[in-house]
Structure 1
Amino acid sequence: MNSKACIIFDIDGVLIDTRKSYNKTIKKTVEYLVKYIDPTIGNVRTLVSDRLIFNFRKSGMFNNDIDTCYAFILSILCGPSKISDLYFFIESITNNATINGIVSVENYLQSFSKDRLSEIKKLLNYPGDIDSSILTRVFDEYFYGPHLFKKHHNAIPKYYFDKPLIQNDTLLVRHSTMKKISNIFDKRLGIVSGRSKTAAKYSMKSIFNFFDTYGSIYLEDEKREMGKPNPSALIKCIKSFGVRNAYYVGDSAEDLYMVQKARRVSNIHVELIGICASNARSNQVRNLFNNNGTSVIVREVNELPNILNKVMTQF
Structure 2
Amino acid sequence: MSFKNCISIDKLLTKLWNDENFRMRILAGIERILNAEAAIFDCDGTIIDTSGSYELAMRVSIALMIDKLFNIEVRLGKDFEDVLASLRMTGGFNNDSDSASALIQTICIFLPSTLDIKLKKWDTVKDVDKYTKPIEGSESYPEYVHEAFKWLSNELKTKKEYFDLNKVEKLLDVKASSLKTHHRLSKIRSMLGYPGNFGESFFATLFDEIFLGSEGVEKKYSWKPRYVLYKGTLENEILLISEESIRRLARYLPKGIAIVTGRGRWETEKTLSRVLKYFNMEASIFTADKGLEYEKPRPKALIESAKSLGTKKLIYAGNSMEDLLMSQAACREGLEVGFVAVSNNEDLSREFEVRGADAIIEDINQLPSLIENIRV
Fold equivalence (TM over 0.5): yes
Q: Tell me whether 1:143 sits opposite 2:208 in the alignment.
A: no
Query: Which residue of structure 1 lines up, in the alignment, with residue 193 of structure 2?
Result: 125
1:13–1:4: structure 2 CA closer, same or farther, 3 Å change rule? closer
| CA distance, structure 2, for counterparts of residue 36 and residue 312 of structure 1 | 57
| Counterpart secondary structure, 1:206 | coil
Residue by residue, what CA displacement relative to the aligned partner does 1:53-94 show, whole Å, maximum 9, x if unpaired? 222111111110010110011011111439324313322223
Residue 93 of structure 2 aligns with which residue?
62
Residue matched to 1:274: 341
Work out which of the residue numbers 81, 100, 104 in structure 2 matches 1:50. Answer: 81
Q: Distance in 1 between matches of 2:206 and 2:40?
A: 31
Aligned to 1:84: 143
SS in 1 for 2:273: helix
Go from structure 1 to structure 2 and tell me whether the alpha carbon gap of 1:304 and 1:114 turns closer, same or farther (over 3 Å shift): same
Instruction: Please give the alpha-carbon distance, in whole angstroms, between the structure 1 residues aligned to 2:79 and 2:36.
Output: 45
The residue correspondences of 1:20-35 to structure 2 (distance < 5 A) are: 20-35=52-67
Preserved CA contact (<8 Å) 1:47 1:87: no
Q: How does 1:268-307 map to 2 (within 5 A)?
A: 268-277=335-344, 282-307=345-370
| 1:189 aligned counterpart, secondary structure | strand
Which one is further off, 220-229 or 231-240? 220-229
Paired with 1:238 and 1:126, the residues of 2 have a C-alpha distance of 32
Confirm whether residue 228 of structure 1 aligns to residue 296 of structure 2: yes
Q: In the aligned structure 2, how far is the partner of 1:174 from the partner of 1:276? A: 17
Q: Is the CA contact (8 Å cut-off) linking 1:275 and 1:297 kept in structure 2?
A: yes
- Report the structure number with the largest CA radius of gyration: 2
What stretches of structure 1 of length at least 5 have no aligned partner? none
Q: Does 1:37 align with 2:69?
A: yes
Given the alignment, which residue of 168, 171, 178 partners 2:239? 171
Structure 1's 80 and 161: CA in aligned 2 closer, same or farther, altered over 3 A? Answer: closer
1:158 aligned to which of 213, 220, 226: 226
Cα shift at 1:17: 0.8
Deviates more, 1:246-255 or 1:222-231: 222-231
What residue number does 1:72 align with?
A: 103
The aligned counterpart of 2:48 is: 16
Match of 1:96 in 2: 155
Gaps of 5+ in 2: 2-33, 113-140
User: 3-state SS of the aligned residue for 2:224?
Assistant: coil
> Contact between 1:143 and 1:165, CA under 8 Å: does it hold in 2?
yes
One of 134, 139, 142 as aligned partner of 2:202: 134
Does the C-alpha gap of structure 1 residues 225 and 76 become closer, same or farther in structure 2, counting only changes over 3 Å? Answer: farther
Asked if structure 1 preserves the Cα contact closer than 8 Å seen for 2:206 and 2:228, the reply is yes
SS at match of 2:200: coil
- Paired residue for 1:215? 283
Q: Match for 1:276: what amino acid?
A: S
Q: What is the CA-CA distance between 1:167 and the residue it aligns to?
A: 0.9
Question: How far is the alpha carbon of 1:99 from its aligned partner?
Answer: 2.4
Moved more, 94-103 or 290-299: 94-103
| Distance across 2 between alignment mates of 1:59 and 1:90 | 15
Question: Which of 259, 263, 267 lines up with 2:331 in the alignment?
Answer: 263
Q: Deviations over 1:25-52 (max 9, x none)?
A: 000011112222222x332544872222
Closer, same or farther in 2 for the Cα pair 1:78/1:44, shift >3 Å? Answer: farther
- Looking at structure 2, the residues matched to 12 and 172 of structure 1 have their Cα atoms a distance apart, in angstroms, of 10
State the AA in 2 paired with 1:87. Answer: H
Please tell me whether the aligned partners of residues 27 and 48 of structure 1 are also in contact (alpha carbons under 8 angstroms): no
Partner of 2:168: 105
Give the match for residue 28 of structure 2.
Answer: none
State whether residues 255 and 309 of structure 2, in contact with CA within 8 Å, keep that contact through their aligned partners in structure 1.
Answer: no
- 1:272: Cα distance to partner? 0.3
Give the 3-state SS of the residue equivalent to 1:192 in structure 2: strand
User: How many angstroms apart in 2 are the aligned matches of 1:47 and 1:150?
Assistant: 34
How far residue 221 of structure 1 moved from its aligned partner, in angstroms, is: 0.7
The answer to whether the 8 A contact 2:35-2:313 is kept is no
SS at match of 1:205: coil
User: RMSD in angstroms over aligned alpha carbons?
Assistant: 2.1
Identity of aligned residues (%): 27
Whole-Å separation in 1 of the counterparts to 2:41 and 2:217: 25
Alpha carbons of structure 1 residues 255 and 312: separation in structure 2 relative to 1, 3 Å = farther
Letter in 1 for 2:151: S
Alignment TM-score, normalising by the size of structure 2: 0.77
